[in-house]
Structure 1
Amino acid sequence: MTRTITVGLDGSPESLAAAEWAAHEAFLRDLPLRLVNAADWQPAVYVSTALGAPLPPGDLRQDWSARLLDEARARLARRHPELRVESQELTGQPVTALLRAAEESELLVLGSRGLGRIAGFLIGSFSQAVLARSERPVVVVRPGVHGEDPAERPAERPGERSTGDGAGAAAAREIVLGLDLEKPGDEVIAYAFAAAARSGAPLRVVHGWTVPPYLYGGDLMPDVRDDLAARAPQELSAVLRPWREKFPDVEVRAQAVIGGAGSHLIEASGGAALVVVGRRIRRSAVGTHIGPVVQALLHHAAAPVAVVPHE
C-alpha cells in the first residue's frame, strides 16, 4: 500500500489544524494525505456524552462522519490543489483503529488542545494509548501556535521558502531534537535531520544531563563534576558526527545542558517549527506509559511535537 500522511479528524478546531499541518507535511514529502474518522467514534460536537449523555443514533453519526470528511477533503483540495487527498471511514474502537491506520502511514497526525487534553475522540487515556503503542511516528498539533491560524495561511509548495509571516516563517524556524545519549535511537535522529533538510531549517539538538546525587555538595569531587561537564558536549558531538556527514546542508546547533531535557525543550519550542523526541517501544499488553519528557511537551510545548518510536 502507498504510504500516506494520515490525520485523525473529529470536527474540532484542533483536528482541523492538524489536517492543515499534515497537508503541508504531505506536500514536503510528496505523499498523499489521508483523512480518517468513523461513525463509531465520539465526535467533538457530542463530547458531553463523556459525562453520561446518550450518543445520537448510529445513522446520524455516520452521516456526520461522512459530511465531516467530505467538507475537510474539499477544503484542503481547494487550498492545496496539487495534493492528493483521500478520506476513509474507519470502524472499531478509536485506539485500535488509529493504530491500524498508523501502520499503513509514514506519519499519524493528531490535534491537541494542549495542557494534556487531546481533542475530541482522543480525550484522556485514548491519546496516551495511541502514543504509547504506535510503532510509527505521531505528531501532535495545536491550532494557533506562534499566533498563527493554520486555516488562514497561504498554501506553500514544496521547496518554497518565504521570509514573511505564516507558513513561510514556520519553515525558517528551527527543528528541535531532544536527544538522550544513553539510548539515542537512530530513527529519532534520522527523523529530525530529514525534517530539517526538507524545510531548510536549522536543527537544534538538546541533550540534558544531570550530576549524580553523590557529587552534589560544594567541594565534593569537583574534578569529577568538571569532567562530566566537559564530556557531555564531546559525547553529543560524537553521536551527531555521522549524521552531519549524511546531511551536510543541515545547520546543526548542539547543546548539552544541565538538568532534565523537558524544561529546556519546552523553552526551545517557543521559537521552533517542530520538536522531535523519541519513545522506547514497549510491547506490553497493558499500560500507556509515554515518559515524562513526552508528557511535559504534550502539556506545554508551543510547537507541534513529533514522537518517534524506537527500539
Structure 2
Amino acid sequence: MEDIQKGEGNKPVEFKSRIDLNKLQNSVNRIKEELGKVIIGQEDMIELLIISILANGHSLIEGVPGVAKTVTAKLLAKTMSVEFSRIQFTPDLMPSDILGTSIFNVKTSEFEFKKGPLFSNIILIDEINRAPAKTQAALFEAMAEQQITIDGVAYAMQPPFLVFATQNPIEQEGTYRLPEAQLDRFLFKIKVEYPSLEEEIRILENKHHQKNKDAEGLVSTVLNAQEIATYQDIVKEIVIEDNLMRYIAGIVNNTRSNANLYLGASPRASIAIMDASKALAAINSRDFVTPDDIKKVAVPIIGHRVLLTPEREMEGFTTEKVIKQILEAIEIPR
C-alpha cells in the first residue's frame, strides 16, 4: 500500500508499505478465486477462515444444513498443499477413533502406535457437538497445546495444525454442548446465513453448468506449508498502535462488567482480536491495524466466549447484539 503525503514545496511524497505484502495479497486473492469457482456468496465466511489460517487459529462454523459449511472448509483445505483429514463426529465416537491406538506387533513383540486422523494439518470436524465428553477432551488437548499424549508419550502436531469444525444450531437431539473452555480455544465462531435470492439463483446456474464435474477437481492448489508459515510470521509483524491495544482491552474489559452478560471474555479474547485484526489488515494490503479491523473481527471472536444473563436470554437478546452495543458505546481512537 502506498500513502501519499505532502513534502517540501508541497510536492507529493510516496511512502511504501514497511512490509512486503504483495505475495500474501496475491495468494489470498487466488484462494478466493479458486473457491469462487464452486462457492457462491459466503464472502464473510471465506474471509474469516482465511484470517484464521493467517492468525493460526481454529474456527467453529455454525449454520443450518445445506449452506456450504463443510464444502467450503473442504475446498479451502484443497487450496493448500498440506495433509487433510475429515472426521464425522457421532455419539459413539471414542478417543482412539481420532487419536489412534497402540497395536501389538508380533514380529517385534512390541506395541506400535498407529496414528489416527487427528494427525494431520487441516482437520475438518463435521458436527463437532455430537461426540461425547471423552472424545471432546482428546480433541481439546490437541487444539489447546498442539500435542497429543497417549500412553505417557507426547506427540507434537506438525504445523500448520488447524481445526475447522461445523455444527447445526437447530437440531439438539443426540448432541453434547461444547464446554466453555473448548469454545474459548476457537478463534472464531462463524455464523453462516442463508444466501440471498440472487445468490441462490447463481448457485443453481453454477450447479447446472458444472453438470457431472467434480467440485474438488475445479479447485487448484495455491499454498504449501512453508508459505503458510511464512505468511503467519509476516502477519505477526503488522503494526498496531498502543491506543488500539487500549481500545481492544477496553472492549473486552467491558464484557466483564456489562449488565447484560453473566460471563465476560478472558484475556485470550483480547489476544485473539489483536492477532485477527493484524491478519485482516494484511489481507487488505495494510501493514497497520485500524479501528475498523478490530470492530470487524470482534463479534465472531467474542460472541462464543461470553454468556448472557438468564433475563436477557429469556428476552431474546443475543451475544452479538450486546457486543455491537459495546462497540458503539466505546469511543474509537483517533
Q: Which interval holds the TM-score relative to the shorter structure? A: 0.3 to 0.5
The two structures have a TM-score, normalised by structure 2, of 0.32
Whose Rg is larger? 2
